[in-house]
Amino acid sequence: MRLSHGSRGVVVRIDELNLVSCAGLVPVMRLAEQVDFAGLVDGRVRPDLPTGARPGGKAAAVVAGMTAGADCIDDLDLLRHGGMKALFDGVYAPSTLGSFLRFFTWGHSLQLEAASRDLLAALAGRVPLLPGADEQVVVDVDSLLRRVYRHAKHGAAFGHAKVGGYRV
């Protein structure tokens, strides 16, 4: 495939201050507000340092950035472009969010995991996960044989498949 025209210099200038490139964040963050995502994180995560203040808002900003495609701390800057500040409160600089993420210890990760369990329960209460489940539910349970390569592996044995493994 080739272009039908020769190469010319193209200049693109976006000077609209109200332009929002990630408008799909609006319904995601509205749902997060409705289940009180920031409050759930604030209630579980106990910050130790000044960078840990308001963990719920910062965690929401990180989730929003990841939803919009950020895959590193510097990419979280996309939350401050164009009209994003007009749409969202609590838009933090990437350096602030990076400091917040760096303060996490193993214990803080467990606290955040507890907040994610609370979030899942809140989302399940808001959205029907299995509509019609009261009528009929089909559960498919398969026997899975995980192969192991060590003879001393606890629970491993030779079964009907004639390979060393254990059942999951």
Q: What is the pLDDT of residues 18-63, one digit of tens each?
A: 566 677 788 888 888 899 999 999 999 987 766 678 888 899 999 9
Given this model, what pLDDT does residue 168 score?
46
How is 115-162 classified by DSSP, letter by letter? HHHHHHHHHHHHS-SSTTTTT---------EEE---TT-TT-EE-TTS
Q: What is the pLDDT of residues 69-124, one digit of tens each?
A: 888 888 888 888 777 777 777 788 888 888 888 888 888 889 999 999 999 889 88
State the average pLDDT over residues 145-155. Answer: 59
Going from N- to C-terminal start, the domains of the chain cover 25-126
Q: Is 60 exceeded by the pLDDT of residue 159?
A: no
